[in-house]
């Protein structure tokens, strides 16, 4: 351990701890994040680096705990087998290093067998089955103590209330991830007064409802990826077979799971899943590699926060922070004015984004978007980037309100905004060059006159 006399560094570490703890509180306890995942991951990685470099770790450091304290309103559940976290890796070389460490610890040069799984972006739950019956369901909470969400879990139709098959164990705790599919998430956000920043917060907010009737209306799903306490049965000898066995009991397991060999096999899997990412109906934020052999897992064991035998290989974040530099209004075929945000270019999900649709004035009002605001931009499941919310804490005093122009930005005709309607329209009709151009394009398009050779 290095000694730090440097007050500045101590202060920086303490400030980072404070900042991350504050984000954790908003994210975990209030289900209402202040920053994007990417920003959070960056801060966390920076704190970890500084702590390791200077050997200065304060007791309240977020690196020293598994999660956040559960809310008081639910009954608390002690996890007999703790629900741990995973270490994160971002680069290929981190995976090589992970694989190297494992081979060293196991004293072998032979290629390690890994079970590769998608890393679902939801919330971890533990489902306890006694004699095949769902007896209790708990959230992960801080990893040691969670909340009893049995009634809520029971509303998720794909979770069996009774296990299938003739050989059910006396006790089986199944661990899995509850998440909200993208389509359900979009629908929920479009209809509700409360806007969730991403599917994960929507799933957490939905599952941690005191009124399970509300949960029943939310589109929640689960994928199971492990076990906790098991009594009265001999488990299969590797991770992949355990998952296969769980599926025979009627539990939902991802179809994207695959056994590979060595770091090379892991990296190939990463590319395969990354290529599929945008076509999946749910959000994943990476993949997980687990040493397949349970005997080897046992030999490798755990460190404070995570197992040594597994690692999460994260994808480029689907969310990022950026600033709205200006807002322009585009005129469509029917004269509808669509506000488009011009953004300070930012990398999201592996591509550079510089524009995002703001849909209409109602959306702008609902999300309280101003020019100059720092916003969270997302692109997931589809290609059109969206502004999901404003980081109001970062609003500057000279942020400007977005006003609907009174005249069409293209033809200067009067803009009509009928009370109660979401869209405002240019009244210029075919006099307006923008409407005219769009009308001709529409006329010539494949689904209309299909005029070959007449394009944009």
Stretch of residues binding ligand IVH (CB under 6 A), selected from 9-17, 131-139, 147-155, 306-314: 306-314
Q: By CB under 6 A, how many residues form the interface with ligand IVH?
A: 15
Q: Are 311 and 86 in contact (CB under 8 A)?
A: yes
- The conformation of residue 25, written as its DSSP 8-state character, comes to I
Please pick, from the candidates 310, 358, 361, 375, the single residue that binds ligand IVH as defined by CB under 6 A.
310
Least CB distance to ligand IVH at residue 203 (A): 11
d(CA 178, CA 376): 23
Least CB distance to ligand IVH at residue 155 (A): 20
Stretch of residues binding ligand IVH (CB under 6 A), selected from 81-89, 354-362, 399-407, 438-446: 81-89
Of 91-150, binders to ligand IVH (CB under 6 A) are 117, 119-120, 124, 140
Q: Helix H segments across 77-165?
A: 92-106, 150-154
- The conformation of residue 273, written as its DSSP 8-state character, comes to H
CA 192-378-123 angle, 5° bins: 65
Least CB distance to ligand IVH at residue 373 (A): 30
Least CB distance to ligand IVH at residue 281 (A): 16
By CB under 6 A, is residue 289 in contact with ligand IVH?
Answer: no
Q: Which of 10, 119, 194, 365 is catalytic?
A: 119
By CB under 6 A, is residue 225 in contact with ligand IVH?
Answer: yes
By CB under 6 A, is residue 312 in contact with ligand IVH?
Answer: yes
Least CB distance to ligand IVH at residue 282 (A): 11
By CB under 6 A, is residue 317 in contact with ligand IVH?
Answer: no
Q: How many CB atoms lie within 10 A of CB 171?
A: 17
CB neighbours of 99 closer than 8 A, spacing ≥ 6?
112, 262, 263, 266
Show the binding pattern over residues 371-410: x = contacts ligand IVH (CB under 6 A), - = does not. ----------------------------------------
Q: How many CB atoms lie within 10 A of CB 360?
A: 19
3-state SS class at 64: helix
CB neighbours of 46 closer than 8 A, spacing ≥ 6?
16
Name the residue nearer to ligand IVH (CB basis): 124 or 137: 124
Q: Are 210 and 73 in contact (CB under 8 A)?
A: yes
Strand partners, 252: none
d(CA 350, CA 328): 25
By CB under 6 A, is residue 263 in contact with ligand IVH?
Answer: no
Least CB distance to ligand IVH at residue 449 (A): 50
By CB under 6 A, is residue 177 in contact with ligand IVH?
Answer: yes
d(CA 139, CA 368): 33
Show the binding pattern over residues 327-366: x = contacts ligand IVH (CB under 6 A), - = does not. ----------------------------------------
Q: Are 305 and 84 in contact (CB under 8 A)?
A: yes
By CB under 6 A, is residue 413 in contact with ligand IVH?
Answer: no
Least CB distance to ligand IVH at residue 381 (A): 17
Q: Are 327 and 312 in contact (CB under 8 A)?
A: no
Phi-psi region of 429 (alpha: psi -120 to 50; beta: other; left: phi over 0): left
Name the residue nearer to ligand IVH (CB basis): 28 or 196: 28
Please pick, from the candidates 160, 307, 372, 405, the single residue that binds ligand IVH as defined by CB under 6 A.
307
Please pick, from the candidates 17, 35, 38, 84, the single residue that binds ligand IVH as defined by CB under 6 A.
84
| Intra-chain end-to-end CA distance of the chain, in Å | 65
Would you call 119 a catalytic residue per the annotation?
A: yes
| CB-neighbour burial class of residue 44 (10 A; exposed 0-12, middle 13-18, buried 19+) | middle
Name the residue nearer to ligand IVH (CB basis): 79 or 218: 79
Structure tokens at 173: 């705790």
Name the residue with tokens 């959000």. 283
By CB under 6 A, is residue 313 in contact with ligand IVH?
Answer: no
By CB under 6 A, is residue 82 in contact with ligand IVH?
Answer: no
By CB under 6 A, is residue 86 in contact with ligand IVH?
Answer: yes
By CB under 6 A, is residue 240 in contact with ligand IVH?
Answer: no
By CB under 6 A, is residue 369 in contact with ligand IVH?
Answer: no
Least CB distance to ligand IVH at residue 176 (A): 8
| CB-neighbour burial class of residue 82 (10 A; exposed 0-12, middle 13-18, buried 19+) | middle
Contacts to ligand IVH by CB under 6 A: 84-86, 117, 119-120, 124, 140, 177, 225-226, 288, 307, 310, 312
Q: Annotated active-site positions, please?
A: 119
């Amino acid at each position: 351990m290095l000694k730090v006399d440097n007050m500045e560094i101590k202060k920086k570490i303490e400030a980072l701890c404070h900042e991350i703890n504050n984000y954790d509180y908003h994210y975990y306890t209030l289900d209402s994040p202040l920053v994007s995942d990417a920003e959070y991951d960056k801060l966390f990685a920076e704190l970890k680096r500084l702590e390791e470099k200077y050997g200065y770790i304060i007791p309240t450091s977020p690196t020293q705990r598994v999660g956040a304290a559960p809310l008081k309103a639910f009954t608390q559940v002690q996890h007999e087998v703790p629900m741990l976290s995973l270490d994160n890796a971002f680069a290929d070389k981190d995976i090589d290093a992970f694989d190297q460490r494992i081979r060293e610890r196991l004293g072998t040069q032979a290629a390690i067998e890994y079970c590769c799984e998608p890393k679902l972006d939801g919330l971890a739950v533990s489902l306890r089955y006694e004699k095949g019956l769902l007896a209790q369901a708990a959230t992960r909470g801080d990893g040691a103590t969670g909340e009893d969400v049995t009634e809520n879990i029971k509303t998720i139709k794909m979770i069996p209330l009774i296990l299938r098959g003739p050989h059910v164990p006396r006790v089986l705790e199944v661990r899995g991830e509850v998440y909200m599919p993208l389509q359900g998430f979009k629908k929920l956000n479009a209809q509700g007064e409360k806007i969730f920043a991403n599917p994960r917060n929507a799933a957490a907010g939905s599952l941690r409802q005191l009124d399970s009737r509300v949960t029943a209306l939310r589109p929640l799903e689960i994928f199971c990826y492990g076990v906790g306490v098991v009594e009265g049965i001999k488990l299969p000898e590797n991770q992949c077979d355990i998952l296969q066995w769980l599926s025979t009991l009627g539990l939902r397991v991802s179809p994207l799971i695959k056994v590979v060999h060595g770091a090379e096999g892991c990296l190939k899997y990463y590319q395969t899943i990354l290529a599929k990412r945008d076509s999946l109906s749910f959000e994943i934020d990476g993949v997980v590699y687990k040493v397949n052999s349970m005997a080897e897992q046992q030999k490798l064991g755990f460190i404070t926060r995570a197992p040594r035998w597994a690692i999460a290989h994260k994808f480029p974040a689907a969310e990022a922070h950026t600033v709205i530099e200006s807002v322009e209004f585009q005129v469509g075929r029917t004269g509808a004015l669509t506000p488009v945000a011009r953004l300070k270019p930012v990398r999201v999900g592996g591509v550079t984004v510089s524009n995002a649709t703001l849909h209409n004035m109602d959306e702008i009002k609902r999300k309280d978007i101003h020019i100059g605001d720092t916003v969270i931009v997302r692109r997931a499941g589809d290609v059109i980037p969206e502004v999901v919310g404003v980081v109001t804490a970062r609003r500057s005093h000279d942020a400007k309100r977005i006003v609907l122009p009174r005249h069409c930005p293209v033809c200067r005709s009067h803009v009509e905004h009928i009370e109660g309607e979401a869209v405002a329209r240019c009244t210029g009709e075919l006099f307006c060059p923008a409407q005219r151009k769009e009308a001709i394009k529409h006329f010539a398009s494949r689904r209309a006159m299909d005029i070959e050779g007449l394009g944009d």
